[in-house]
Amino acid sequence: MSEKISKPDAQWREELGTDAYAVCRLAATESPFSGKYVDHHEAGTYVCAACAAPLFASGAKFHSGCGWPSYFQPISPAAVSEHADTSHGMRRVEVRCARCESHLGHVFTDGPKPTGLRYCINSLALGFEPAAD
């Protein structure tokens, strides 16, 4: 993984725009089935919208029906960090970009084989780099 990235809040706001800033820096959640990557099936790599760090390979994406892009594993264990989240009266595991600490979404234990995990990720927290032909 690349060196950690830290920026002043005003810079994050300017670079990300209102909606992505709310998700990435304030841990908001986009509405289900509204994100551009929910039904996206192109081969390539999903990257952090804030710092472009590689996060998920398209081969790990699956249709979960939950309304957000879902992956059964990150591109590498070091790509994301996990944190306890007890907000909204729930007990969940928050997933952040390990490089810039942007909120990505949550991970659940109801995913498919081989991991049994479902990384439920906001489209606003992602960018996409198509595979080279």
CATH 2.170.150.20 applies to domain 9-130 = yes
Provide the pLDDT for residue 87. Answer: 85
Q: What is the pLDDT of residues 51-74, one digit of tens each?
A: 999 999 999 999 999 999 999 999
How far is residue 44's CA from residue 5's CA, in Å, rounded to a whole number?
23
Residue 6 backbone phi and psi in degrees, to 5: -135, 135
Q: What is the pLDDT of residues 31-45, one digit of tens each?
A: 999 999 999 999 999
Sheet holding 103-108, edge to edge: 61-62, 70-71, 118-121, 103-108, 92-97, 80-85
Provide the pLDDT for residue 2. Answer: 66
* Catalytic residue ranges: 120
What is the mean pLDDT for each group of 10 consecutive residues in the chain (133 residues)? Answer: 87 97 97 97 97 98 96 97 89 96 97 97 98 86
DSSP 46: E
Provide the pLDDT for residue 80. Answer: 98
92: β partners: 85
DSSP 130: E
Provide the pLDDT for residue 62. Answer: 97
Residues in contact with 105: Cβ distance below 8 Å, sequence separation at least 6, in sequence order: 29, 68, 94, 95, 119, 120, 121, 122, 125
Residues in contact with 110: Cβ distance below 8 Å, sequence separation at least 6, in sequence order: 116, 118
pTM of the predicted structure, to 2 decimals = 0.95
Listed by start position, the domains of the chain span 9-130
Provide the pLDDT for residue 89. Answer: 87
DSSP readout, 55-84? EEEGGGEE--SSSS-EESS-SSGGGEEEEE
45: β partners: 57, 129
